[in-house]
Amino acid sequence: MEMWFVFAGILSLLLCIAHWFYIRRYPSFKGKLPPGSMGLPILGETLQFFTPYTTSDVSPFIRKRMNRYGSVFRTRLVGRPIIISTDPELNHFIFQQEGKLFQGWYMDSFDDIVGKQNVLSVHGSLHKYLKILILNLFGSESLKGRLLPDVEDMTLKHLQLWSTQTSVNLKEAIATMIFDFTAKKLFSYDESKYGKKLRESYAALLDGLISFPLNIPGTAYWKCLQGRKNAMETIKDILEERRASPRTRRQQKDFLDLVIEEMERDECILTEGTALDLLFALPFATYETTSSALTLAVQFLSSHPSVLAELIKEHDAITRERETMESGITWKEFKSMTFTIMVINETIRLGNIVPAIFRRVVKDVEVKGYTIPAGWMVMVCPTAVHMNPEKYDDPLSFNPWRGQGKETNKGSCNFMAFGGGVRLCVGAEFVKLQMAIFLHHLVTKDRWTIMKEGRTIRRPGLVFPDGFHVKISDKN
């Protein structure tokens, strides 16, 4: 009984503290908040939000509150008051008002892991500067000239290697392939030179990126911080070695050379800390989302023979029109892969690999008859838009033909897999290029058999806890 009184006293104290904090933080707010529940003090509804689920549909957490409160509602996650929007028009408005009414923001745990100066969390001129810098590597001109043939060589090499194995965990194999490729393009990473394997340092990131920041050994957050620490040590060693050596001896420059040149410019805003956060974040941003999307695409193609037949038809036509069968993919051919891009977009729509996009409210905003207070966070929920039956007929079905005649390379009200507005993912075309090249060679040169499909779980990001094991063999 005494323990119960102690617990009740602590709970009452927490409620008083939470109420006091709210009054101090929002003393003049007199508007009407969206409906919803803020859950427990401080913790809010965090545990319910992070509960894993297996459906491709909107998470049970979001669906339950949509049914109860409508398309816009409030909650509290990891100590933050948050407005969740599942409304396509409001989401688009939020993206278009970037830097005016809303500002890019991610959970504290995300910034602790990816870095306070990562490109997703910085604002204004620094964000614009970093975006331009990244385009030197992932922009259209670089894709046309340097990356396309290199991505193709990488893909052919690995497909050939995998065809010699009795079974391959496709998700892990693609992730490793893309990670190694990106690390080489970024800073010429050579695993044999360093005691720690860089890829292993990134392995736990997905589980802890959007997690409750509980820094206790064994938690997902703690594992992520350890991974970041190890990876940053390696990347910093590479940066220091490069700065100490004369770069005139290097025949082929990489992204790190460009970064160092920028850092040495007079009055440059690129500090060493920002450069390290950028070099740390880019490998994860490229390999995790693309490997998940490609694995999902192969799953969908395996269970939809009519889609696979149409995809093979498109790529066989491309190879027949070449002067020689050994010719590599050209930029013109990539741009002609209309059905392939429809397959990719439909995979990404159903995959919802980025299930939440966060923004901070700069000043009080009036929307949908409600007021969102300055300082609160808003969470755009792409999944709710992509699974909206008013926007997509039979939204849970895999139907690439639904994208016929539609432009989805840029963000829109109904397709926001790559975000939107000025923060539209700078690597979106690079992702599609990698996927298109992989699918081209997979369906023209190889065939695959599923050995062990495993499960797909969302928590809330998409993961393959059992892997996705296939046997790849040469068609010839």
Q: Could you list the residue range(s) of the whole structural domain that residue 13 is in?
A: 1-27
Do you find a cis peptide bond into 460, omega within 30 degrees of 0?
yes
72 in the same domain as 11: no
Angstrom CA distances, 191 to 194, 257, 285, stand at 6, 19, 20
11 in the same domain as 71: no
Query: With 90 as the cut, is the pLDDT of residue 285 above it?
Result: no
What is the CB neighbour count within 10 angstroms for residue 4?
8
Backbone φ, ψ for residue 104 (5° rounding)? -55, 135
Overall average pLDDT of the 398-408 stretch = 85
Reported as a pLDDT band with limits 50, 70 and 90, residue 248 is: low
11 in the same domain as 104: no
Q: Measured over all CA atoms, what is the biggest interatomic distance in the chain, rounded to whole angstroms?
A: 86
Overall average pLDDT of the 266-291 stretch = 89
Query: With 80 as the cut, is the pLDDT of residue 14 above it?
Result: no
167 three-state secondary structure: coil
pLDDT of residue 139: 87
Counted domains in the chain: 2
167 in the same domain as 22: no
Reported as a pLDDT band with limits 50, 70 and 90, residue 108 is: confident
pLDDT of residue 175: 94
Weakest mean pLDDT among 27-31, 108-112, 247-251, 344-348: 247-251
129 in the same domain as 4: no
- Interatomic CA distance for residues 155 and 174, integer angstroms: 9
183 in the same domain as 325: yes
125 in the same domain as 20: no
44 three-state secondary structure: strand
249 in the same domain as 113: yes
Q: Which helix (H) or strand (E) holds 131?
A: helix 124-138
Tokens 């420059």 -> residue = 253
Instruction: Tell me 97's DSSP state.
Output: T
451 in the same domain as 349: yes
- Interatomic CA distance for residues 208 and 463, integer angstroms: 12
65 in the same domain as 20: no
Angstrom CA distances, 357 to 42, 50, 77, 442, stand at 21, 15, 14, 32
Cα angle 65, 69, 74 (rounded to 5 degrees) comes to: 75
Write out the two tokens for 102.
């809303």
Are the beta carbons of 340 and 315 closer than 8 angstroms?
Answer: yes
Q: Cα-Cα-Cα-Cα dihedral of 108, 386, 55, 310, to 10°?
A: -130
8 in the same domain as 125: no
Binding-site residue numbers for heme are: 425
417 in the same domain as 295: yes
Per residue in 19-36, pLDDT (tens digit) is 445 444 544 567 899 999
240-245 contacts at long range (C-beta below 8 A, 24 or more positions apart): 242/187
Per residue in 260-270, pLDDT (tens digit) is 999 988 888 89
Write out the two tokens for 347.
């995979």
Binding-site residue numbers are: 425
Reported as a pLDDT band with limits 50, 70 and 90, residue 50 is: confident
CA atoms within 13 A on the CB side of 211: 22
Sign of CA dihedral 438, 441, 443, 449: negative
Per residue in 188-203, pLDDT (tens digit) is 888 777 766 888 888 8
- Interatomic CA distance for residues 171 and 307, integer angstroms: 21
- Interatomic CA distance for residues 176 and 302, integer angstroms: 22
Query: With 50 as the cut, is the pLDDT of residue 49 above it?
Result: yes
Are the beta carbons of 426 and 411 closer than 8 angstroms?
Answer: no
Are the beta carbons of 206 and 200 closer than 8 angstroms?
Answer: no
Per residue in 414-459, pLDDT (tens digit) is 898 888 888 888 889 999 999 999 999 999 999 999 999 988 998 8
CATH of the domain at 346: 1.10.630.10
